[in-house]
Amino acid sequence: MEKLVNLKEFARKKEKRKSTFLKFLNVGSFLGPYTISFLMFFVFPLVLGIIMSFSKFKSTSIMPSQIGTIDNYAVLFKDSAIARDFWKSVWTTFKFCLCVVPLSILIPLGLALLVNTKPPLYKFFRAAIYLPGIFPLTSTGLILMRLFDSHYGFVNSIFNLTTDWFGDVASCWFIIGLFCVWCGIGGNFIIFCAGLENVDKSLYEASDVDGCGKFRKFLHVTLPAIKPQLFLNLFTTFIGYMNVYGQIYMLASNNPDLGEMKSAVYRIQDLLVGSNPMSFGYAAAMGICLGVLIIFVSIIQLILNKERKVSKHAKKFEAWKESK
């Protein structure tokens, strides 16, 4: 009898062990491919990047010749040519963001408000405004270059201008901004459209009963309701344009003052395209500097978002409750 019980126990134990083994096998086979690729193409480069930024390279090998030096950072924070160029480019990128990000938020928001009134053909308009952004930047950029060509361009000839749009720094930035609005607002626009669609209609009816004006309705009903979308767009657009490269690469590479046009990523890309391993250490260090800057600004945005979430009245109410 006792033996039988033992046998049962044994069978159960074996069954259990078998099932945990099976489970492990299952999880392994489903998660395995992704784990490997995540480690290989995400974690490893990240770690390698940090190591590289603390390494010295010789021009003959892609492997670091000396690890554990802060020379790269020292050069970047010293008064050297590389440092001057890099930080100037970071500042340029930042200024560019300050100009383009508000446009990339306000223009799509305005257009989404118009679409939200549901005029005839609004679905067509939505599709048309989203359209330019889906194409390769090189295609749309090439068309733009030809359109604004100084001699044979359509724009110059119908407005009777002789402006060399791509030869001058200021006008080149203007065209790049135009490019970013033309091909870059699609996503934000669609997200705003969806956000506006999801605003609770009864809120508008209630504000109608209260006799709210259009502007107050927008300020007190619409804006709070689409705040998540507003912050999402602000966040992603800002990060996106801190990394701006393609637009400048496409439109400004013939500019005589290319140095004034280079964004931070453009500098890094320059070092890498030359494929002289000597500069890889600087490139890695620059990447980390720019990345940390982006994270820093994102954190500020997140904190602002959190603070806004708790409204003034709620805070007052909390304070009042505390005092009781």
Partner 1 sequence: MQRSLKRGKKVSKVVAFVILLLVSVIFLLPLLWGLFGSFRSHDDFYLHPESFFPSNISAFTFDGYAELFSKTEYVSSEANEYYPIWNWLFNSVIVAFGGTVIYLIIASLAAYAFVFLDFKYANKIFYFLICTMTIPGIISTTPQLINMNLLGVYKTLLGLIIPSFGGVYGVFLIKQFFTGIPKDLIENARIDGASNLKIFLKVVLPLGKSAIFVEGLFGFMGAWNDVQWAQLIIGNAPRTTWTLAYGLKVISDQCESYEAITLSLASAIIAMIPIFIVYLVAQSKIIEGVANTGIKR
Please pick, from the candidates 74, 106, 131, 304, the single residue that binds partner 1 as defined by CB under 8 A: 131
Read off φ and ψ for residue 66, nearest 5 degrees: -150, 130
Please pick, from the candidates 7, 11, 40, 310, the single residue that binds partner 1 as defined by CB under 8 A: 40
**Minimum gap (Å) between residue 230 Cβ and partner 1:** 10
DSSP secondary structure string, 111-168? Answer: HHHHHHT--TTHHHHHHHHHGGGGS-HHHHHHHHHHHT-TTT-HHHHHTT----TTTS
**Minimum gap (Å) between residue 26 Cβ and partner 1:** 5
Window 76-105: contact mask with partner 1 (x via CB under 8 A) = ------------------------------
Which residues, 215 to 274, sit near partner 1 by CB under 8 A? 228-229, 232-233, 239, 242-243, 245-246, 249-250, 253-254, 265, 268-269, 272-273
Please pick, from the candidates 275, 321, 323, 324, the single residue that binds partner 1 as defined by CB under 8 A: 275
Which residues, 15 to 34, sit near partner 1 by CB under 8 A? 23, 26-27, 30-31, 33-34
Please pick, from the candidates 10, 13, 16, 44, the single residue that binds partner 1 as defined by CB under 8 A: 44
Please pick, from the candidates 195, 241, 261, 262, the single residue that binds partner 1 as defined by CB under 8 A: 195
Is 143 near partner 1 (CB under 8 A)? yes
Is 172 near partner 1 (CB under 8 A)? no
Please pick, from the candidates 119, 313, 319, 323, the single residue that binds partner 1 as defined by CB under 8 A: 119
Q: Which stretch in 37-45, 82-90, 96-104, 215-223 sits in contact with partner 1 by CB under 8 A? A: 37-45
140 alpha carbon, distance to own chain's centre? 20
Taken in order 205, 209, 214, 215, is the CA torsion positive or negative?
A: negative
DSSP secondary structure string, 257-321? Answer: THHHH--HHHHHHHHHHTT-GGGHHHHHHHHHHHHHHHHHHHHHHHHHHHHHHS-HHHHHHHHHH
Sequence-ordered list of residues with C-beta below 8 angstroms from that of 75, at least 6 positions apart, any chain: 82, 83, 282
Q: 3-class SS at 56?
A: strand
Q: Which stretch in 71-79, 82-90, 92-100, 150-158 sits in contact with partner 1 by CB under 8 A? A: 150-158
Sequence-ordered list of residues with C-beta below 8 angstroms from that of 261, at least 6 positions apart, any chain: 92, 169, 172, 173, 248, 252, 255
Please pick, from the candidates 4, 5, 81, 121, the single residue that binds partner 1 as defined by CB under 8 A: 121
Helix then strand then coil, in percent of the chain rounded to 5, is: 80, 0, 20
Is 115 near partner 1 (CB under 8 A)? yes
